[in-house]
Amino acid sequence: MKHENIILKVIGILFIAFGISAYVNSLQYGTPGQVFWFCYFALVFIGIGILIKKSSIVLTQLNIVTIPLLIWIIDFFYVLITKGTLFGITNYFFIGGPIAGKIISLQHIFTIPLAIFSLYLLKIKREDLWKFSFIEMALIFVISKLFTAEEYNINCVYRNCMNFSLGPLWFHPYLWLISAFLLVFITNRIFMSLRFIKDKTKL
């Protein structure tokens, strides 16, 4: 048990350190609006959830970021291996720019496995966390619309972040919220099917 506590503390501190570094890097080299990227929120909240041993906080964030992170990972390795373009969301990694930002971006690769490992140690105790994830996503949408410029398209709230169209721009807010609901609901159901991260007393 003592070893588990140490491991959880190390992982929690790592997440928070990367989250804070992402905020600092955005303010130093990017634009103020970049601090509203939901993956930065997730890093900090996952870290806090692990440190205070609240699996509900960790899973609430994983419901939000798992599918977007998987898309990022697929795009990243496609570009890395083929030198071509797939979705166009990780091309920035392979062009010039501050190395600190690229190191921070690697969190996209380790967030899912480390968070799942943490859930394995903490165990999930409730199954309806997708509701809180969707509320958080709705808040992210509103905040991004209110406090970020359209030209930067933070959290893809103004248009699709990938290099293809998903319909007319007027429909995008509705598509974003519908996708957010499906994303967190499906992801939550998948995690609920993983018996090794569930509290056995709740099975």
| Domain ranges (residues) in the chain | 2-202
Residues of the chain below pLDDT 70:
1, 200-203
Secondary structure class of 170 (helix, strand, coil)? helix
Secondary structure class of 95 (helix, strand, coil)? coil
Reduced 3-state DSSP string for 46-72: HHHHHHCCCHHHHHHHHHHHHHHHHHH
117 contacts: CB under 8 Å, gap ≥ 6: 11
Alpha-carbon Rg for the chain, nearest whole angstrom, is 17
pLDDT of 202 reads: 56
Q: Distance between CA 118 and CA 123 in Å, rounded?
A: 8
Give whole-number Cα distances, 203 to 53, 54, 123, in Å: 20, 19, 11
pTM of the predicted protein model: 0.92
Q: Distance between CA 15 and CA 13 in Å, rounded?
A: 5
